[in-house]
């Protein structure tokens, strides 16, 4: 059973969706540890309540390399084999990424490369796109940039607010993150340049 390390900064609903898929027998993996970089991250409390190892390593004021070494030590201690960023709002250093080559995933609430960075749903609304969505991709040193594993489109409705659009996207996030993890753990894919080719 592959050991996942889940990194969060806030609510943790994607973490919960992954935990639910595992509990339902839809994803063969175990969550070795949930790490949050903000003490107030609600997902850490949820993780503890659900009986997972939940660790807070506050990142405030720390140099990126220093922080990432602390993070790596925690993940290694729990034998983590695949790192899943689930609303983790920090860039990872090259040092960190080298330790987990093609073993770090991220979920982002837009159809990348559109609307990277913060507030992707607001960016989509303000740009006036009719379709946005969400993306699970491998993480490299750049922001929201690595090879794409799965994307799903989500329509933007005329009456949408950031909240209604985010909620519609989030439902799809919860579905595709587990699917992407299943693909990566299953190993039935290859990375050709920027393309992730399945089967």
Residues acting as catalytic residues: 108
Q: Looking at 75-83, 92-100, 104-112, 123-131, which segment touches ligand GAR (CB under 6 A)?
A: 104-112
Question: Across-strand partners of 152?
Answer: 134
Number of residues that bind ligand GAR (CB under 6 A): 16
Place of tokens 């799809």: 172
Least separation, in Å, of the C-beta of 9 and ligand GAR?
Answer: 7
Question: Is residue 120 near ligand GAR by the rule CB under 6 A?
Answer: yes
Of 9, 109, 100, nearest to 56 by C-alpha is: 9
Least separation, in Å, of the C-beta of 33 and ligand GAR?
Answer: 16
User: Could you tell me the two tokens for 91?
Assistant: 């860039």
Question: Is residue 109 near ligand GAR by the rule CB under 6 A?
Answer: yes
Question: Is residue 47 near ligand GAR by the rule CB under 6 A?
Answer: no
Question: Is residue 11 near ligand GAR by the rule CB under 6 A?
Answer: yes
Least separation, in Å, of the C-beta of 179 and ligand GAR?
Answer: 15
Beta carbons of 78 and 87 less than 8 angstroms apart: no
The helix or strand, by DSSP H or E, that contains position 197, with its residue range, turns out to be strand 195-198
Sign of the Cα torsion 6, 94, 197, 2 reads: negative
Binding stretches for ligand GAR (CB under 6 A):
8, 10-14, 43, 86-87, 107-109, 120, 144, 170, 173
């Amino acid at each position: 059973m592959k050991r996942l390390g889940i990194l969060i900064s806030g609510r943790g609903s994607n973490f919960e969706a992954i935990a639910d898929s595992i509990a339902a027998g839809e994803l063969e993996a175990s969550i070795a540890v949930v790490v949050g970089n903000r003490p107030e991250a609600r997902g850490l409390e949820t993780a503890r309540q659900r009986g997972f190892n939940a660790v807070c390593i506050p990142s405030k004021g720390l140099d990126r390399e220093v922080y990432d070494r602390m993070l790596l030590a925690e993940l290694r201690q729990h034998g983590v084999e695949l790192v899943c960023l689930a609303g983790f709002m920090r860039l990872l250093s090259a040092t960190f990424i080298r330790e987990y080559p093609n073993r770090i995933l991220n979920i982002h609430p837009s159809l990348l490369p559109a609307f990277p960075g913060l507030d992707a749903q607001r960016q989509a609304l303000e740009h006036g796109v009719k379709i946005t969505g969400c993306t699970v991709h491998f993480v490299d040193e750049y922001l929201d940039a690595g090879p794409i594993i799965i994307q799903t489109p989500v329509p933007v409705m005329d009456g949408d607010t950031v909240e209604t659009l985010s909620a519609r996207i989030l439902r799809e996030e919860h579905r595709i993150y587990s699917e992407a993890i299943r693909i990566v753990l299953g190993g039935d894919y290859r990375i050709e340049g920027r393309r992730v080719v399945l089967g």
